Amino acid sequence: MDLSDLIDRNAAFAPDKPAIHFAGSTLTYSDLAERIAAAARALKSQLGVGRGDRVAILGLNHPDYLALLYACARLGAMLVPLNWRLAVPEQVFILTDASVKVLIVEQGFAAVVEPLKQALPETRIVGLDFAPSFDDLLASGSGDGRNPHVDLSAPLLIVYTSGTTGRPKGAVLRQEALVWNAVMSQHMHDMTAQDHVLTVLPLFHVGGLNIQTTPALQIGATVTLHARFVPDATLEAFARDKPTLTVLVPATMQAMIEHPYWNTIDITCLRALTTGSTQVPQGLVDAFTARGVPVLQVYGSTETCPVAVYTRVNGDQRANSTGLPGLVCEARVIDDNGNDVAPGIAGEVVVRGPNVFFEYWGNGAATGEALREGWYHSGDIGMRDADGHFFIHDRKKNIIISGGENIYPAEIERVLAAHPDVAEGAVIGRADPKWQEVPVAYVVCRAARAVDARALEAHLLDQLARFKVPREYVFVDSLPRNAMGKVQHFVLREWERN
């Protein structure tokens, strides 16, 4: 059995049920199963894709993204989703690193084609929506569309990490990781075949792909897919399509709340909104709960597929907590010697379970550093309370050590964001001859508002120890972010050096 068989089984049980709504059209489960089978036949017979080969896709969200995923599962091949926000040299690096055999590319991103031909002349390129097109490829396929010795242990995805600290690494996820990740998502959301998921986050990231989308398809639910996040279209979908579940990151939650129609459109069709990816300001959570929508939090990473720690529908919600370890995985908080720390003490979060990645593609040293005795060392700092609920503080590499004290930028950022004139803020460490490092804040003010450093200092001193208060406030128009809305602190550190 492979992962695509789950779609076939759902097609057998409910062939006419909508699987994917997209741009005014609908694929039933029968249609989706046929599309997957045709894609597998074509990839194998026309492009020679075999077990272990890499197939990349560069494009916005599209039903064929998912058809390709399950076709690769059927063949034992690996899908490499490409972040369309990256520059062409960054795309070429990933495609070269993964040695892709086939690239499916949407016309809007065809600028990568010529550089890729030079870097990887053996790579076959197929247009998603231009000749030679994906539809033409599917029409030419023949044969059974399967490869021998393929089961759930086969690697399926190479998802390149967001590169918040430098060059991205390709996390390899097996098919079974998506099975167990889905089990936890279904547990988290009380998800059933009757649910309707709205997907607006990019499928090139495990958040958009695996928090709700693949779990929904694997249990027989319906997915409405948007090419990309657009606030107007998302609000319209709440009113028109009545989804029961969706995922938004804090940046997209903020965009919803600031939309002029936010208070006029009924969003109570949602049984729950799921968020995560970074620290979630309580004000964002409160804005949705005030509208009658429960907010769930999930913690994880590319390497955990990503579901690892979460809160549940109607579960025990604790302020600023990302919940409990998932149904089929373990999570701990450890010190630098690998020992568990006591409740309330900060340490590194480590995760173990069948959802955890297999390796970093072609990077044994990084794999060995991150995976030790089956435990994934996340590089995230957090703590547990006495009941085992997790609270995530920050990335280990972001910690500021000032006069021997650990300062977590996310803690300062959370207080900064609570100031009425601050849209967002990010904090990094600056070298200091006396204290080793001191915190510095980069601040984006709300439109038509202004605030000075003295007012911000007074606001922070009201809630934080003096040693945590930034020594300088740098006012900027925007903060550098990756595709999932995480602030790229390493870019801010580069700004500091320059």
Q: Quick check: is 167 in a domain?
A: no
Does residue 203 have a pLDDT over 90? yes
Does residue 164 have a pLDDT over 50? no
Does residue 278 have a pLDDT over 70? no
One domain for residues 407 and 267:
no
Higher pLDDT pick, 394 / 157: 157
What pLDDT does residue 159 have?
Answer: 97
Report how far Cα 70 is from the mean position of its chain's Cα atoms. 19
| Residue matched to tokens 């995560």 | 276
Higher pLDDT pick, 423 / 11: 11
CB atoms within 10 A of CB 211: 34
- Going by C-alpha positions, the residue among 186, 191, 185 that lies closest to residue 211 is 185
Band the pLDDT of 35: cuts 50, 70, 90: very high
- Going by C-alpha positions, the residue among 112, 168, 188, 226 that lies closest to residue 355 is 188
- Going by C-alpha positions, the residue among 101, 104, 36, 28 that lies closest to residue 70 is 36
Higher pLDDT pick, 83 / 172: 172
Q: Taking residues 370-377, what's their average pLDDT? A: 96
CA distance 253 to 468: 28
For helices 250-257 and 282-289, the axis angle rounded to 10 degrees is 50
One domain for residues 211 and 308:
yes
Does residue 52 have a pLDDT over 80? yes
What pLDDT does residue 472 have?
Answer: 94
> Hey, is 135 helix, strand or coil?
helix
One domain for residues 123 and 239:
no
What pLDDT does residue 166 have?
Answer: 52
- Going by C-alpha positions, the residue among 200, 215, 211 that lies closest to residue 305 is 211
| Residue matched to tokens 């300088």 | 472
Does residue 279 have a pLDDT over 80? no
Does residue 165 have a pLDDT over 50? no
Q: Quick check: is 165 in a domain?
A: no
Which run of H or of E encompasses 79?
strand 78-81
Q: Quick check: is 161 in a domain?
A: no
Which run of H or of E encompasses 367?
helix 364-370
Q: Quick check: is 455 in a domain?
A: yes
Least confident of 15-29, 209-223, 265-279: 265-279
**16 CB burial (10 A radius; 0-12, 13-18, 19+):** exposed
One domain for residues 107 and 59:
yes
Q: Domain boundary at 342, 364, 395, which? A: 395
One domain for residues 219 and 137:
no
DSSP state of 7: H
CB atoms within 10 A of CB 322: 24
CA distance 147 to 389: 44
Q: Taking residues 202-221, what's their average pLDDT? A: 97
Does residue 162 have a pLDDT over 70? no
Does residue 276 have a pLDDT over 90? no
For the chain, what percent of residues have pLDDT higher than 90? 74
One domain for residues 375 and 300:
yes
Does residue 303 have a pLDDT over 50? yes
pLDDT digits (tens, 9 = 90+) for 389-413: 999 887 777 888 787 677 878 889 9
CB atoms within 10 A of CB 292: 10
> Hey, is 174 helix, strand or coil?
strand
Q: Quick check: is 158 in a domain?
A: no
pLDDT digits (tens, 9 = 90+) for 116-144: 888 889 999 999 998 889 999 999 999 99
Q: Domain boundary at 395, 423, 452, which? A: 395
Does residue 9 have a pLDDT over 60? yes
One domain for residues 424 and 384:
no
What pLDDT does residue 484 have?
Answer: 67
Give the CATH number, domain containing residue 429.
Answer: 3.30.300.30
Q: Which amino acid is at 349?
A: V
- Tokens standing for residue 194: 């009757």
One domain for residues 239 and 378:
yes
One domain for residues 408 and 292:
no
One domain for residues 419 and 380:
no
- For the chain, what is the mean pLDDT? 92
- Which domain, by its residues, includes 288? 183-395
Q: Quick check: is 271 in a domain?
A: yes
One domain for residues 316 and 190:
yes
One domain for residues 10 and 106:
yes
Give the CATH number, domain containing residue 19.
Answer: 3.40.50.12780
Band the pLDDT of 17: cuts 50, 70, 90: very high
Q: Domain boundary at 365, 395, 425, which? A: 395
- Say if residues 29 and 7 touch (Cβ distance below 8 Å): yes
b/e map 234-263, b = 16+ CB within 10 Å: bbebbeeeebbbbbbbbbbbbbbeeeeeee
Least confident of 328-337, 459-468, 477-486: 477-486
Q: Quick check: is 23 in a domain?
A: yes
b/e map 333-354, b = 16+ CB within 10 Å: beeeeeeeeeeeebbbbbbbbb
pLDDT digits (tens, 9 = 90+) for 181-190: 999 999 999 9
Number of domains in the chain: 3
Q: Quick check: is 72 in a domain?
A: yes
